[in-house]
Amino acid sequence: MVGRKIIHVDMDAFYASVEQRDRPHLKGVPVIVGGPPHARGVVATCSYEARKYGIHSAMPSRRAFQLCPRAVFLRPRFEVYRAVSAQIMELFLEVTPLVEPLSLDEAYLDVTENNLQMTSATHIAQYILAEIKRRTGLTASAGVSNSKLVAKIASGHQKPNGLTVLPPDAVLPFLSGLKIGDLHGVGKVTEQTLRKHGFNTVADIQQSPIAELRGLLGRDRGTELYTMAHGEDERMVRPHRERKSIGSESTFEEDTEDIDTIFETLKREALSVVKTLNQKELVCRTVTIKWKTEDFQSRSKRYTFLEETADEETLLRVTTKLFNEIEFSGPIRLIGMSVSHLEAPPLSKQLTWQDIDSYL
Can you tell me the distance from the alpha carbon of 15 to that of 32, in angstroms, rounded to the nearest whole number? Answer: 9
Residue 146 near residue 4 (C-beta atoms within 8 A)? yes
Residue 357 near residue 33 (C-beta atoms within 8 A)? no
Can you tell me the distance from the alpha carbon of 254 to that of 331, in angstroms, rounded to the nearest whole number? Answer: 9
Residue 171 near residue 150 (C-beta atoms within 8 A)? yes
Q: Among residues 168, 175, 192, which one has the least CA distance to residue 228?
A: 175
Can you tell me the distance from the alpha carbon of 349 to that of 10, in angstroms, rounded to the nearest whole number? Answer: 12
Taking the CA of residue 255 as centre, how many other CA atoms within 13 Å lie in the half-sphere pointing to its CB? 13
Q: Hey, which residues does 287 pair with through a beta bridge?
A: 303, 339
Active site residue 264: no
CA distances, 157 to each of 175, 177, 358 (Å): 11, 12, 31
Helix (H, G, I), strand (E, B) or coil at 326: coil
Q: How far apart are the first and last CA of the chain?
A: 44
Counting Cβ atoms within 10 Å, is residue 38 exposed (0-12), middle (13-18) or buried (19+)? exposed
Catalytic residue among 49, 106, 249, 269: 106
Can you tell me the distance from the alpha carbon of 43 to that of 270, in angstroms, rounded to the nearest whole number? Answer: 26
Taking the CA of residue 300 as centre, how many other CA atoms within 13 Å lie in the half-sphere pointing to its CB? 16
Can you tell me the distance from the alpha carbon of 243 to that of 284, in angstroms, rounded to the nearest whole number? Answer: 11
Q: Hey, which residues does 340 pair with through a beta bridge?
A: 245, 286
Q: What is the DSSP string of 100-156?
A: EEEETTEEEEE-SS-TT--S-HHHHHHHHHHHHHHHHS--EEEEEESSHHHHHHHHT
Catalytic amino acids? 106
